[in-house]
C-alpha cells in the first residue's frame, strides 16, 4: 500500500488535531471531509486545503475514493457512521478509526466490531492516552522488566482545568468523567497491568453546574494479580495545575516507578535511581498544555498507518478497546449498585 487516502467525519473541537497530525504523516492524504455544520465544514476545508466537502456522510461514502475513514464525531453518531463505513463500496468497506468513547453501550460496540470484521478491514479506536510519550516511557520500562513484576499501581488524573468551554457537551451528559476521561486512564491501567477481572468504583459530583459525575475512584483487580487504583477528578484545584498529565505510582518486586508532575520519570531498582525528563515535544501546530495529548494523536495515527502497511491489528483495535469500554460500563454499574462488578457480567 503506497499512498493512503483518508476521509474525516466531524470537523469539531478535536478534529483539527487529527488533521494536523495527518499532514505530518508520510504517504497519507485526507481527500474528503464531512460535517453536518456547514460553517465548520467550510472553515476546516479552507484551513487544511481540502476541496471535497460533504454535509452528508452517506453521500461521501457513495462517492468513495478513500481507503479509510477517521470518525471524529461525538458518540451518538459512532454506530451509524461505523456501519456506513462497513457498507461502503458495495460491502467491501473501508478501514476505520473511531474516536472514543467508541459506543453508547456494549451491544452497539459489539455490533460495530462485527460489522467491520465482516469486511476484513482494520478497525482502530482512537484511544490515544497510552500513546503519550511520558506514559509510553513508563509502559516500555515496565514491559522491559525495569522494576521486576508489578504488584501495585496507581494511575491518577486530578485537575481543575475548565474542559467545558472547549467541549460544552461534557457538562450536559448524565455521565461525565468516567465516560470521557476515565476511559483513557482505565486504558492506561490495562496497557500497564493487563486485563481486569473485577472493579469497584465510587463517583461524586462536586461542580454544581454540570450534570454528570466529576470525581471517580476505582479499584481494579487485574487478571495477572496486580491491584491498581485509577482515580480521576476535574474538581481538584491546586497548583501546579497538571492538566492533562496522568501520574503513575507503580511498585514491583524489583523496584518502583513514578511518573510525577512535570513529566518526571523516576525508576528505583537494584539500589540505584534513574530520573528522566520525559516531557513531550511541542509539535509545530500544538499548544501548551494540550501538547501532550496532541503528540499522542500524531503517534496513534502513525501507528494506524504502520499497522495498515504491515497488515497487523492496531494496539487499540475494536476488540481490544471493548475491554476498556467494558471497564467504563462496569465502573458505572459498580458505583450505582455499591458493589464490586466482575467484568464477566458484561
Ligand atoms: P465537537 O462537538 O466539537 O465536534 C463534533 C463534530 O461532529 C461537530 O462539528 C458535529 O457537527 C459533527 N457531527 C456530529 N455528527 C455528525 C454526523 N453524523 N455527520 C457529520 N458530522 C457530524 O466534538 P469534539 O469535542 O471534537 O469531540 C469529538 C470526539 O472526540 C468525541 O467522541 C470526544 O470524546 C473525542 N475527543 C477525544 C479526545 C482524545 O484525546 N482522544 C479529546 C477530545 C475529544
Ligand atoms: O481527552 C479527552 O477525551 C478530552 C479531555 C482531556 C478534555 O477529557 O475530552
Peptide bond into 326 cis (omega under 30): no
- Produce one character per residue of 223-237: b if its CB has 16 or more CB atoms within 10 Å, e if not: eeebebebbbbbbbe
Which residue's CA is minimally distant from atom 7 of ligand 2?
163
CA gap 220, 235 in Å, rounded: 22
Of ligand 1's atoms, which has the minimum distance to the CA of residue 80? 18
Give distance in angstroms: CA of 180 to centre of ligand 2: 6
The per-residue DSSP string of 289-313 comes to: TTHHHHHHHHHHHHHHHHHHHHT--
DSSP β-ladder status, 264-269 and 255-260: antiparallel
Report in angstroms the alpha-carbon separations of 9 from 145, 246, 295.
41, 29, 21
Residues 145-194 have pLDDT tens digits of 999 999 999 999 999 999 999 999 999 999 999 999 999 999 999 999 99
Question: Three-state SS for 162?
Answer: coil
What pLDDT is recorded for position 2? Answer: 82
Residues 262-278 have pLDDT tens digits of 999 999 999 999 999 99
What mean pLDDT is predicted for residues 23-30? 98
Domains and CATH numbers, the chain: 4-126 (3.40.50.720), 130-285+318-345 (3.30.360.10)
Ligand number nearest CA of 77 is: 1
Give distance in angstroms: CA of 244 to centre of ligand 2: 8
CA gap 94, 139 in Å, rounded: 31
Ligand number nearest CA of 97 is: 1
What mean pLDDT is predicted for residues 118-136? 98
Question: Is it the case that residue 292 has pLDDT exceeding 80?
Answer: yes
What pLDDT is recorded for position 171? Answer: 98
Is residue 177 a contact partner of residue 234, using CB atoms and an 8 Å limit? yes
Looking at the chain, the whole-number percentage of residues with pLDDT higher than 90 is 99
What rounded mean pLDDT belongs to the chain?
A: 98
What pLDDT is recorded for position 1? Answer: 63
Question: Is it the case that residue 19 has pLDDT exceeding 70?
Answer: yes
Q: Give the list of residues 6+ apart from residue 226 with CB closer than 8 angstroms, or none.
A: 150, 151, 152, 153, 193, 194
Residue with cell 476541496: 51
Question: Is it the case that residue 243 has pLDDT exceeding 90?
Answer: yes
Amino acid at each position: 500500500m503506497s499512498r493512503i487516502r483518508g476521509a474525516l467525519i466531524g470537523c469539531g473541537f478535536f478534529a483539527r488535531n487529527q488533521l494536523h497530525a495527518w499532514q505530518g504523516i508520510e504517504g497519507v492524504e485526507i481527500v474528503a471531509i464531512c460535517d453536518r455544520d456547514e460553517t465548520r465544514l467550510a472553515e476546516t476545508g479552507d484551513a487544511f486545503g481540502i476541496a471535497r466537502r460533504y454535509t452528508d456522510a452517506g453521500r461521501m461514502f457513495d462517492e468513495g475514493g478513500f481507503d479509510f475513514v477517521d470518525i471524529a464525531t461525538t458518540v451518538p453518531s459512532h454506530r451509524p457512521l461505523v456501519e456506513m463505513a462497513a457498507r461502503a463500496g458495495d460491502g467491501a468497506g473501508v478501514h476505520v478509526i473511531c474516536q472514543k468513547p467508541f459506543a453508547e453501550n456494549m451491544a452497539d460496540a459489539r455490533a460495530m466490531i462485527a460489522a467491520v470484521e465482516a469486511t476484513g478491514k482494520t478497525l482502530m479506536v482512537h484511544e490515544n492516552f497510552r500513546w503519550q510519550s511520558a506514559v509510553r516511557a513508563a509502559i516500555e520500562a515496565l514491559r522491559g522488566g525495569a522494576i521486576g513484576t508489578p504488584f501495585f499501581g496507581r494511575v491518577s488524573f486530578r485537575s481543575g482545568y475548565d474542559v467545558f468551554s472547549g467541549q460544552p457537551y461534557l457538562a450536559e451528559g448524565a455521565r461525565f468523567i468516567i465516560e470521557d476521561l476515565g476511559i483513557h486512564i482505565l486504558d492506561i491501567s490495562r496497557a500497564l497491568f493487563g486485563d481486569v477481572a473485577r472493579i469497584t468504583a465510587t463517583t461524586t459530583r462536586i461542580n454544581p453546574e454540570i450534570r454528570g459525575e466529576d470525581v471517580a475512584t476505582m479499584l481494579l483487580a487485574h487478571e495477572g494479580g496486580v491491584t491498581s487504583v485509577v482515580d480521576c477528578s476535574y474538581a481538584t484545584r491546586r497548583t501546579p495545575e497538571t492538566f492533562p498529565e496522568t501520574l503513575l505510582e507503580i511498585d514491583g518486586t524489583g523496584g518502583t516507578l513514578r511518573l510525577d508532575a512535570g513529566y518526571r520519570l523516576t525508576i528505583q531498582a537494584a539500589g540505584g535511581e534513574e530520573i528522566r525528563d520525559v516531557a513531550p515535544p511541542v509539535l509545530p501546530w500544538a499548544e501548551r498544555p494540550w501538547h501532550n495529548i496532541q503528540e499522542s494523536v500524531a503517534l496513534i495515527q502513525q501507528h494506524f498507518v504502520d499497522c495498515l502497511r504491515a497488515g497487523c491489528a492496531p494496539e487499540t483495535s475494536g476488540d481490544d478497546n471493548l475491554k476498556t469500554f467494558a471497564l467504563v460500563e462496569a465502573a458505572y454499574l459498580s458505583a450505582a449498585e455499591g458493589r464490586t462488578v466482575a467484568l464477566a457480567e458484561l
